């Protein structure tokens, strides 16, 4: 854990390519030899850091009385709060800046973070299709559309520094509206908001 904190701090301060394992070891209060006993390379350390961050993303277990809309709202809010957190925004900015040095850098991010997060939304839609009659034969495309409608503009605006992350209330209102619109179009069981 201390190694990940140190690595994140050094990577964000120096950039991935400019950061050295000596600097990471010093920031972690470890010898370089100890760091290399734990991690085989800087690339492995960065991948492990992304995996560590991904492990912090915990989706709620649906309650028995939750509607399909409740489930989608809960999952999207969890995902949005995670992606809009300062540390996630900082890491994504780092990846975007480093992409010009190494296109593989972006692929590591996609493999370790984006795909896993979106696949959770896809599996949620597939499960809702089975259990609640939602028409979601193309769960992957639907998940991308719902993600974009609910979170996309907030995420991009925050990422490029156009504005601060939305308030808790604004985020929840946007996610609920997006889910209502989405479900009105593809959920035979959707409840019409009053």
Domains of the chain, by residue range, sit at 2-51, 59-186
Angle among Cα 160, 98, 54 to the nearest 5 degrees reads: 75
pLDDT band at 109 (very low <50, low <70, confident <90, very high): low
Domain 2-51, CATH: 1.10.10.60
Tens digit of each residue's pLDDT (9 = 90 or more) over 122-154: 777 777 766 656 555 677 788 888 999 999 999
Phi, psi of 86 (to 5 degrees): -55, -40
pLDDT band at 120 (very low <50, low <70, confident <90, very high): confident
pLDDT at 170 over 70: yes
59-186 has the same fold as 2-51: no
- Higher-confidence residue of 119 and 31: namely 31
| Model confidence, pTM | 0.82
Question: Options 1.10.4190.10, 1.10.510.10, 1.10.357.10, 3.30.1490.100; which CATH number does 59-186 get?
Answer: 1.10.357.10
């Amino acid at each position: 854990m201390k190694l990940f904190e140190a690595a994140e701090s050094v990577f964000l301060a120096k950039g991935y390519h400019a950061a050295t394992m000596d600097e990471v070891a010093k920031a972690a209060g470890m010898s370089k030899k100890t760091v290399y006993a734990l991690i085989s390379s800087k690339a492995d350390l960065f991948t492990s850091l992304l995996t560590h961050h991904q492990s912090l993303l915990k989706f709620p277990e649906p309650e028995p009385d939750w509607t399909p809309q409740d489930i989608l709202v809960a999952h999207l809010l969890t995902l949005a709060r995670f992606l809009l957190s300062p540390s996630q925004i900082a890491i994504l900015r780092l990846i975007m800046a480093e992409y010009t040095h190494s296109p593989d850098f972006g692929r590591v991010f996609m493999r370790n973070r984006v795909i896993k997060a979106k696949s959770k939304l896809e599996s949620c839609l597939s499960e809702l299709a089975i259990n609640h009659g939602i028409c979601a034969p193309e769960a992957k495309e639907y998940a991308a559309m719902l993600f974009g409608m609910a979170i996309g503009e907030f995420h991009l605006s925050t990422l490029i520094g156009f504005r601060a992350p939305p308030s808790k209330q604004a985020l929840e209102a946007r996610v609920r509206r997006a889910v209502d619109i989405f479900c009105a179009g593809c959920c035979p069981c959707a409840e019409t908001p009053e």
